[in-house]
Chain A
């Protein structure tokens, strides 16, 4: 069995895996990082989105061996200690989650959107999140949350620049 090594949420990990192991399964089953969810088998739902080398990726579209040497961030690695990432805080404040199952992927995807586009319009948010399915919220409050996070992150950057 091949051996894979990668940095996950800042920690170096190294494990033997079956070649067919998906990154999503590797995170959940080998590393017990069960915040990354699996909601489909056709890479449509986006519940498994993580960041690989800073970019959002559906972790079910990648074999674990393809992520060898990469730096991976999962939902568990997003908050700084007890301080929620502004995107997480905005989802809570705007009621952007209900059952919570799509939430980790939704949050990781939205964080990447703001890396590309720090001030997205409603339309841009909706189009970016087209690959993340939520059955509970109707997306209204998710869009609101992403906008709020964009505002608060802009504020943080401005404060940091001063």
Chain B
């Protein structure tokens, strides 16, 4: 292994600019003659727009233009990227999502008017002068009430607020498995609604060049080409060759920056109308009411077991909140990213899942780190732990007994997926060792002496990522392919530019991808540049989400590098007057086998651009190759997370005292970066389990709309982490990589809650919901004391 190749913890190339304040985020960009936009948003969750008087705003100082839904009504709606069918095969209900509200507003934060002025302060001041005549309508935020049929309708054309009623599996067949069961364990569970909260608020700059007729959008996106496609083709009807989308340095995404948002369309559309570039930057309060939220499932599940504790069947009934409109990937999250994961790491033979997707007067809900897979893992691992407690089994034993054995791969689950590789005993063993499971009883006894309740919780999980084979997702309703592209440009002096369709917003692609190149071509890391985030530079790309960058984007780079070395061998054979079959390439050198002839990679690169004696009918000049890679399957990282908590029974405060993660993410290219990704996921998982909760009141007002109300995990809320990896290789990509971005957030929440319940069990508490706040824990403890007090 070289010190910059595959497997090396290379320090990140991008850090120098970030550490010296020279990152280039969208808000850092100012375009010549730029104007500023402020977006007036609905203060009500549901209302009819009876009138909008914009005269005073138009006349306000510095104001250049004011636009409302009347101006943008001719544009296409914000599209949804995935169609899901109902049980009867009919398509889902897909109401229009207008760029600016038309006739009605449907959630607090729904954009009503766009004000463009010389300064941001002027735009904001002018927006206050807009008279919004809103007739408030009853709002619905609760999913049960929303589908009751008698209450408020979010969309007139979506009866009972139902987007779809979908199922996977044969319910009657699964019922059959329940007839033979010795035990049935049931659970009612809520997956709490979260706000992704990337630290960089969203921003967009729209620009139009009159001379060329070209539009440019600078935006905080995880996938600029997807935005170009969705906004260009569906909303603004702009052809791709006249629309450039640039996503420069992006300050975190976690899913929330995948989607095409109305603000991007607004500034792009308005730029030629104002005749100057228009910049919009979200204030954090605006992010809370306009960034897509995450999770928000309510589920009932039943698990059938035989008398030995083997799983016989699983039935899962889920209601998923879509919010007021369908965001880009919203519809596939509770279905194809959730129900297909319900086998988990277990051999459960029969599984049925029903999902009702429901509109409410809340911000749209979409994928957030893990997307569907944390929801599946949470309910499954809560259910498995509950089964162990009810049956009097050990938490480890019940899991091992039901694991898919390591010699059973490829393993076809009853819920559509075929896992290619894994070894769940290996990750469990590793985690047990790191967490010192054997020492837990002693630690618990010691904690008890201090008056603390100590508990340990498990989660053994698998997830599907590296999203995904186009053929598979296409057959399931995806309206796009999910391949990736890469271009390798070898310059005459041997340095290399890689153009990738993946997008880094914290993941360190500039380093990890460069390691692939350094390793393959045997050239120094500093001779490699990774270019991403600009549709005018990169041929095409589907972007970064679903832990797909390395498994799909990295594979595309490998494929293009393969084409480059093939071409380079031809050149080497020509120059060294040998047969192409005799050329070997190793450590950056081309040699003719059986001779001492050799040429360095840089010499071949130069020859490619100085082709004085090339046989031009057989060998083209230049050394640049393009590849598109579409995977054969999803990848399936998995592992075991063990959480140990101490609860103060007097205050209800839960402290995570040990957090262990052993994950199999396939081959690790940069261990330092992988560990960092796992840490970040764990923090978000612990945040969901203990701290974070997005709350709407009954009128649809967002109660947790700032960092004073929404509890983000701070440094003093979290422990040090113990993270380790084990390795089984992905069977269908050349690198053997599986993806690591989401594992922490997927695996950890049930381990935390199982630990809290384990701690509280001795006091008679058997259930606690996320987030397990001190108030909730304290109340559960007091409630459990009640019967005893009554006796």
Are A42 and B706 interface neighbours, CB within 8 A? yes
Chain A, interface SS category: loop
**Which B residues are CB-close (under 8 A) to A62?**
none
Are A98 and B11 interface neighbours, CB within 8 A? no
A55 an interface residue at 8 Å Cβ cutoff?
no
Cβ distance B220 to chain A, nearest Cβ, rounded Å: 10
**Which A residues are CB-close (under 8 A) to B254?**
135
Are B680 and A37 interface neighbours, CB within 8 A? no
Are B720 and A42 interface neighbours, CB within 8 A? no
**Which A residues are CB-close (under 8 A) to B778?**
none
**Closest B-chain residue to A34, C-beta based?**
B28
**Which A residues are CB-close (under 8 A) to B506?**
98-100, 136
A33 an interface residue at 8 Å Cβ cutoff?
yes
Are A42 and B22 interface neighbours, CB within 8 A? no
Are B706 and A40 interface neighbours, CB within 8 A? yes
Kindly supply a per-residue 1/0 record for chain A positions 56-95, scoring 1 wherever the CB is within 8 Å of any chain B CB and 0 otherwise: 0000000000000000001110110000100010011101
**Closest B-chain residue to A32, C-beta based?**
B30
Find residues 514-530 in chain B having any chain A CB closer than 8 Å to their own CB.
Answer: none
Chain A CB count within 10 A is highest, among B25, B675, B680, for B680
User: Given A41-B285, A100-B506, A130-B715, are A75 and B199 also a contact pair (CB < 8 Å)?
Assistant: no
**Which B residues are CB-close (under 8 A) to A78?**
20
Cβ distance B282 to chain A, nearest Cβ, rounded Å: 10
User: Given A93-B11, A97-B19, are A37 and B25 also a contact pair (CB < 8 Å)?
Assistant: yes
Are A102 and B199 interface neighbours, CB within 8 A? yes
Are B715 and A99 interface neighbours, CB within 8 A? no
Kindly supply a per-residue 1/0 record for chain A positions 113-153, scoring 1 wherever the CB is within 8 Å of any chain B CB and 0 otherwise: 00000000011011101101111111111110000000000
| Option from A34, A39, A130, A135 in Cβ contact (under 8 Å) with B716 | A130
Are A76 and B21 interface neighbours, CB within 8 A? yes
Kindly supply a per-residue 1/0 record for chain A positions 31-54, scoring 1 wherever the CB is within 8 Å of any chain B CB and 0 otherwise: 001111111111011010000000
**Which A residues are CB-close (under 8 A) to B198?**
99, 101, 135
| Option from A28, A36, A92, A132 in Cβ contact (under 8 Å) with B715 | A132
Cβ distance A140 to chain B, nearest Cβ, rounded Å: 5
Are A126 and B716 interface neighbours, CB within 8 A? yes
Interface size on A, residues (CB 8 A): 55
| Option from B11, B18, B679 in Cβ contact (under 8 Å) with A140 | B679
Q: Which stretch (B244-252, B313-321, B452-460, B764-772) binds chain A?
A: B244-252
B3 an interface residue at 8 Å Cβ cutoff?
no
Find residues 662-687 in chain B having any chain A CB closer than 8 Å to their own CB.
Answer: 672-673, 675-676, 679-684
**Which B residues are CB-close (under 8 A) to A47?**
199
Are B679 and A97 interface neighbours, CB within 8 A? no
| Option from B18, B200, B715 in Cβ contact (under 8 Å) with A139 | B715
Cβ distance A146 to chain B, nearest Cβ, rounded Å: 10
**Which B residues are CB-close (under 8 A) to A38?**
27, 201
Find residues 1-34 in chain B having any chain A CB closer than 8 Å to their own CB.
Answer: 11-12, 14-23, 25, 27-28
B121 an interface residue at 8 Å Cβ cutoff?
yes
Chain B CB count within 10 A is highest, among A28, A34, A100, for A100
**Closest B-chain residue to A90, C-beta based?**
B19
**Which B residues are CB-close (under 8 A) to A140?**
679, 718, 720-721
| Option from A28, A39, A42, A98 in Cβ contact (under 8 Å) with B508 | A98
A16 an interface residue at 8 Å Cβ cutoff?
no
| Option from A45, A88, A138 in Cβ contact (under 8 Å) with B19 | A88
Are B707 and A99 interface neighbours, CB within 8 A? no
User: Given A40-B706, A130-B714, are A100 and B676 also a contact pair (CB < 8 Å)?
Assistant: no
Chain B CB count within 10 A is highest, among A40, A92, A104, A140, for A140
Cβ distance A79 to chain B, nearest Cβ, rounded Å: 6
**Which B residues are CB-close (under 8 A) to A28?**
27-28
User: Given A39-B284, A98-B252, A139-B683, are A103 and B672 also a contact pair (CB < 8 Å)?
Assistant: no
Q: How far is the CA of A138 from the CA of B743 in the complex (A)?
A: 14
**Which A residues are CB-close (under 8 A) to B706?**
40-42, 44
Are B712 and A135 interface neighbours, CB within 8 A? yes
A20 an interface residue at 8 Å Cβ cutoff?
yes
User: Given A20-B121, A140-B720, are A103 and B12 also a contact pair (CB < 8 Å)?
Assistant: no
| Option from B28, B121, B284, B505 in Cβ contact (under 8 Å) with A18 | B121
| Option from A20, A35, A91, A93 in Cβ contact (under 8 Å) with B22 | A35
B708 an interface residue at 8 Å Cβ cutoff?
yes
User: Given A95-B672, A100-B14, A138-B682, are A107 and B199 also a contact pair (CB < 8 Å)?
Assistant: no
**Which A residues are CB-close (under 8 A) to B28?**
28, 34
Q: How far is the CA of A20 from the CA of B119 in the complex (A)?
A: 13
Are B721 and A37 interface neighbours, CB within 8 A? no
B283 an interface residue at 8 Å Cβ cutoff?
yes
Are B720 and A122 interface neighbours, CB within 8 A? yes
Are B20 and A99 interface neighbours, CB within 8 A? no
Are B714 and A101 interface neighbours, CB within 8 A? no
B507 an interface residue at 8 Å Cβ cutoff?
yes
| Option from A34, A41, A44, A137 in Cβ contact (under 8 Å) with B21 | A34
**Which A residues are CB-close (under 8 A) to B18?**
97, 100, 103
Q: How far is the CA of A129 from the CA of B19 in the complex (A)?
A: 17
Are A101 and B199 interface neighbours, CB within 8 A? yes
Cβ distance A116 to chain B, nearest Cβ, rounded Å: 16
Are B676 and A95 interface neighbours, CB within 8 A? yes
B197 an interface residue at 8 Å Cβ cutoff?
yes
Are A107 and B19 interface neighbours, CB within 8 A? yes
**Which B residues are CB-close (under 8 A) to A137?**
676, 679-680, 683
Are A138 and B21 interface neighbours, CB within 8 A? no
**Closest A-chain residue to B253, C-beta based?**
A99
**Which A residues are CB-close (under 8 A) to B720?**
122, 140, 143
Are A99 and B199 interface neighbours, CB within 8 A? yes
**Which A residues are CB-close (under 8 A) to B121?**
18, 20
Are B21 and A104 interface neighbours, CB within 8 A? yes
Chain A CB count within 10 A is highest, among B22, B27, B676, for B676
Q: How far is the CA of A82 from the CA of B90 in the complex (A)?
A: 63
**Which A residues are CB-close (under 8 A) to B20?**
35, 75-76, 78-79, 84, 88
Cβ distance A80 to chain B, nearest Cβ, rounded Å: 11
User: Given A134-B199, A143-B715, are A100 and B683 also a contact pair (CB < 8 Å)?
Assistant: no
Are B714 and A100 interface neighbours, CB within 8 A? no
User: Given A44-B707, A45-B199, are A138 and B683 also a contact pair (CB < 8 Å)?
Assistant: yes
Are B715 and A101 interface neighbours, CB within 8 A? no
Are A127 and B679 interface neighbours, CB within 8 A? no
User: Given A95-B673, A99-B250, are A35 and B680 also a contact pair (CB < 8 Å)?
Assistant: no
**Which B residues are CB-close (under 8 A) to A84?**
16, 19-20
**Which A residues are CB-close (under 8 A) to B672?**
95
Q: How far is the CA of A76 from the CA of B250 in the complex (A)?
A: 19
State the B residues within 8 Å of A (CB).
11-12, 14-23, 25, 27-28, 121, 197-201, 249-252, 254, 283-285, 505-508, 672-673, 675-676, 679-684, 706-708, 712-716, 718, 720-721, 744
Shortest 6 CB-CB contacts between residues of A and residues of B: A35-B21, A101-B251, A100-B18, A138-B683, A99-B506, A44-B707
A99-B251, A138-B680 provided; 12 other pairs, C-beta below 8 A? A35-B20, A41-B283, A44-B708, A76-B22, A92-B15, A99-B199, A99-B200, A99-B505, A103-B19, A126-B715, A137-B683, A143-B720
State the A residues within 8 Å of B (CB).
18, 20, 28, 33-42, 44-45, 47, 74-76, 78-79, 84, 88, 91-93, 95, 97-104, 107, 122-123, 125-127, 129-130, 132-143
